[in-house]
Amino acid sequence: MQTHALYDQITNEVHARPFQKVQAPLYLVHMAISLPSEQMDDAHHATLQLATELGIGEQANDDGFFFLSSEEFALRFERHNEFYSLTLYHFGADSEDIFPQRWKPLLCDGRLPGKMLAGVEIIFRKRREDPLAWCRKYFGQRNFAAEEFGDRQLAASEVMSGGATVWTDFAACEENGLVRVLVEDRSLQPFQAGRLLQRICEIETYRHVALLALPAAHAAMPLITTLDKQLADITHRMTADNKEQPSEVLQELMTLAAQVEELSADTANRFSASEAYFALLDTRLTELRQERIEGLQTITQFMERRLEPARRTCHAAGRRIEQLSKRIARVSELIRSQVDLSIEQQNRDLLEALNGRARRQLRLQAKLESFTIIVVTYYAFDLIERTIRNTVPGEELLNDVLMGVSFSVPLIAGVLWLYVRQLLKGYDEDD
């Protein structure tokens, strides 16, 4: 027995992207960067260069994922289909040390390829008595009462069965464009802490990537409505008493179907990806195992309140396109049935016309029978007369025989008529 060529790859897949073992205090910056898949190698090399400048440049064998660390910093790179994620860890950082100045030129000087899609900074610290003081300082007082401080509100939860608390407003900071999150450690184990921080990063990433389908849905909705109205108009014209040929309606319907399929080709992948990312988002929110903090909305409640309309819009757009395509297929089948029936009617009329022409030909042939009999009788009489003249001796006998033959002309004509009728018997039965 031999080992399958993909055995090692399949076996190691469950260990491909492990959670990191971390402890508070810690400062973390996570970014999701949009980049075409064919340029991911450039991102891999640029990230290794960044690790070298941070003093953690070690050999990374896996192009899809690597984690490099030193005593002070760590860097995590993960490759996806349409983006890659980059996570920087600053071990032992105090909660006041927000976005170290030495990181700004490294992340913002254009050396990293792609466009930033999502970004989050996490302050991970041991539990303190008054986390609201930190929230007031770094989120702003607007978050603590909707009637006083506007639309942005604080979301907070006890997570991991009470092992930690998470505080955030999911709003991008003006200083660096990152969403700021405070995580207070109560009783987390190092691997639990790594899982929690990674899930928070993934929640922020997946909610942004999932929403990439929303502009496409908004742009598609008016076009779907227009195409839907055109299909309804074609359907009404089919049921109305008009003189349009089914083939003309079918051609118009084929043009409409081509437009729908073009729209589906442009949006299907984006909508499918959005559904997948929303599903991942739901999974990560469930894995937080949240408990409500009195007076504040949980992270799940915040997401449901803000993202559910967008999710439903994307889902509705994709479903409407699919349903429109199916309706066009049904209407096309109906029109094709009408065309087939019309063709069958035309074929029947053509066959009836051919049968009528054949009957007329037979009638004409019957009328010409008499002329045919006369001609044949003439040639038969002439042949008999010539034969008699050449075979009968004597003038008187010859005259008598010819006289008898002359009187037999009606008999010859009658015999020929009966013979012709016998030949044509059965050909005029359709009359």
124-139 pLDDT, tens digit each: 988 887 777 767 766 6
- Min mean pLDDT across 214-218, 272-276, 345-349, 419-423 is at 419-423
pTM of the predicted model, to two decimals?
0.74
- pLDDT tens-digit series, residues 85-137: 999 998 887 655 555 666 666 666 677 899 989 999 999 988 887 777 767 76
Say what the pLDDT of residue 375 is.
78
pLDDT of residue 387: 81
Distance (Å, whole) CA 381 – CA 368: 20
Q: How confident is the model at residue 314 (pLDDT cuts 50, 70, 90)?
A: very high
Average pLDDT, the chain: 82
Residue 147 pLDDT greater than 80, yes or no: no
Give the mean pLDDT of 168-172: 87
- Among 52-56, 139-143, 285-289, 292-296, whose mean pLDDT is lowest? 139-143
Asked if 324 and 260 touch (Cβ cutoff 8 Å), the reply is yes
H/E stretch holding 156 = strand 155-159
What are the residue ranges spanned by the domains of the chain?
14-200, 213-288+296-346, 368-423
- From the list 22, 21, 25, 23, the residue with the least C-alpha distance to 128 is 25
Q: With 80 as the cut, is the pLDDT of residue 372 above it?
A: no
CB 90 within 8 A of CB 28: yes
The phi, psi pair for 94, rounded to 5°, reads -75, 155
**Pair 86, 75: CB distance under 8 Å:** yes
Higher pLDDT, 245 or 301: 301
Q: Which residues of 220-233 are buried (b: 16+ CB within 10 A; e: fewer)?
A: beeebeebbebbee
Average pLDDT over residues 318-326: 93
Residues 6+ apart with CB under 8 A from 287: 195, 199
Which of 142 and 192 is assigned the larger pLDDT? Answer: 192
Q: What is the pLDDT of residues 348-366, one digit of tens each?
A: 888 888 888 888 887 777 6
Q: pLDDT higher for 13 or 78?
A: 78
Q: Which two tokens stand for residue 69?
A: 């660390």
- Of residues 130 and 80, more confidence is placed in 80
Residue 144 pLDDT: 44
Question: For 13-46, what is each residue's pLDDT tens digit?
Answer: 666 677 888 888 999 999 999 999 889 988 888 8
- The pLDDT tens digits of the residues spanning 179-189 come to 989 999 999 99
Count of other CB atoms within 10 angstroms of residue 316: 13
Q: Say yes or no to pLDDT of 148 above 50.
A: no
Model pLDDT, residue 360: 82
Closest CA to 124 of 175, 174, 74: 74
